[in-house]
Structure 1
Amino acid sequence: MNPASARAESDGLILFIGGGNMGRSLVGGLIARGTPAARIVAVDPSQEARDALAADWGIGTAPDAAAVLPDAALVMLAVKPQVMKPVCESLAAAFPPQAVAVSIAAGITTTQLDAWLGGGRAVVRAMPNTPALLGAGATGLFANARVTPAQRALADTVLGAVGVGVWLDSEAHMDLVTALSGSGPAYVFLLAEAMQAAAQRLGLPPEAARVLAAQTCLGAGRMLTESGEDAGALRQRVTSPGGTTQAALESFARDGFSGIVARAIEAAAHRGAELSAQAGR
């Protein structure tokens, strides 16, 4: 790596293509962790979105990437999978050789992104989830062979600003990450919704049911992340023989709970692969 490229990776702009919820959360996380606002630029065709980003975070904004793209060290592609190809193709001719592209679009592979950006690009595929909006996200990441250690560290900095990142050695696992942690918050919401509804049907006041279900999910999640023990051990610890928890877990087992979850994750992973195929080459 030449010195100019090294400086670009460490000091160049962090450029966001797309100023939606996930882009906003990443910008906010970076600012909170000390990244200078002057180093961040967001590109979005919506004047309203640009004004909000500038007002909230003090970053630079632009309606298109032409003027700022040459100075980028990292280009965060925060747009929907359905429009990723034309967005990348619009950047390809001027995409700077020193920059790493980071995509957070479900189902779009690094091979597709590299081709759409003109070929020979350093590309990271990332799958964050919606708790990133609160700084509690879980992100799976995969880097193609052109990504340098410095570029990987920069991608770590950006995605790490909103939670925990896990690097994968095989891109084949990314659809499973999408199915597990990318879509996973909805599974927890569904469980909380079902718990709340069941308690209400049995006579608990709605607000009490809502608060208790939500706090139970929060507390269980903190135990999973802070205790250092795996989920199975924690489950066993709170299950007294012959007690109420055992009765509930046995009911789950009779109804095939594990199989239901497995089939749901398989369906989500399959849909991720379909999105990739639909996006084309």
Structure 2
Amino acid sequence: MIVTCPKCKAPTQLDHAEIPENGTDRICDACKSRFWLYKESFGGRALKKSGDIFCAGCGEELDRSIACPSCGKLYPAFVFAQATKAAPKRTVHVRSTYYIRRRPTRKPIPKKTIAPKKPTQILSIFNKYTISAALLVVLITAGVVVYSKMKAVKKYSENYTKVLYGIKAGTDICLKPFEKVASSSGSSYSPYDPTPSLSSSEQSRLNIIKAKVDTSMKKMENPPEKFVTAKEKLNNLYGVYAKIHAFALQPSGTMQKDVDAAEKMKIEFKISSQELKSALPKQLSVELENARAKYRNLRDF
């Protein structure tokens, strides 16, 4: 399970099975601040207004439906992270004594005698209510279908921009060492020196970002009809990102050779990004503009 720090939003890999019922705490690898992880039943979701929540059964991210989109469990318990420790729950004691309040007896009200309706009149009323009920069912069904489609499109748009953010952030981290070498003076590095490898913390961060991007890509395998072309362009961009990711973790040659290869992949990533942006429908373009204000890495995308 991958959760984000409530303070710095850095991703952290955790095992959801290790979280006890009364919660636990973790130290963020990025900002070194402490945050707490808690497990709640499905009924507690009404009080959870913000932040990511994850299925306590499989560890995948939950949406606002009554079932887990990954394992399909109904009314799943969920896990969430928060920056402060939760206050202990109070125990409510219920009194064991009770009494029965007896109501005063009422006199029966005499019923009025109503003449029975004619069979034709009863049939006419029955047909009228049957038609009205059928029309109501049709309208409700159509409304539910339209609402479900709108909700699916909105969710897909949000996942699309999240994947773009992960791809852009991961690519920037991968190419940063090679850009640093390329911009330095000639006396600092020799073209025939081996390329410096990434630190263990940088490699761990890249792998966490890649795992989160892969998880989101699996959720987007069946796009809405109007997003099919945009999904194809996203697949192309993801392919370039995966190649850059593998190259950064294990450079293949000398420093000058790897710097040249990194520059070519950077150009390839830029071209694929331009093709993706030109193929975005209006709704995804608006969602991308909103994401630029939220994610700093997307401002130069």
Instruction: Choose between structure 1 and 2: higher helix proportion.
Output: 1
- The structure having more radius of gyration, on CA atoms, is 2
TM-score computed with the length of structure 2 as normaliser: 0.26
Instruction: Choose between structure 1 and 2: higher strand proportion.
Output: 1
TM-score computed with the length of structure 1 as normaliser: 0.28
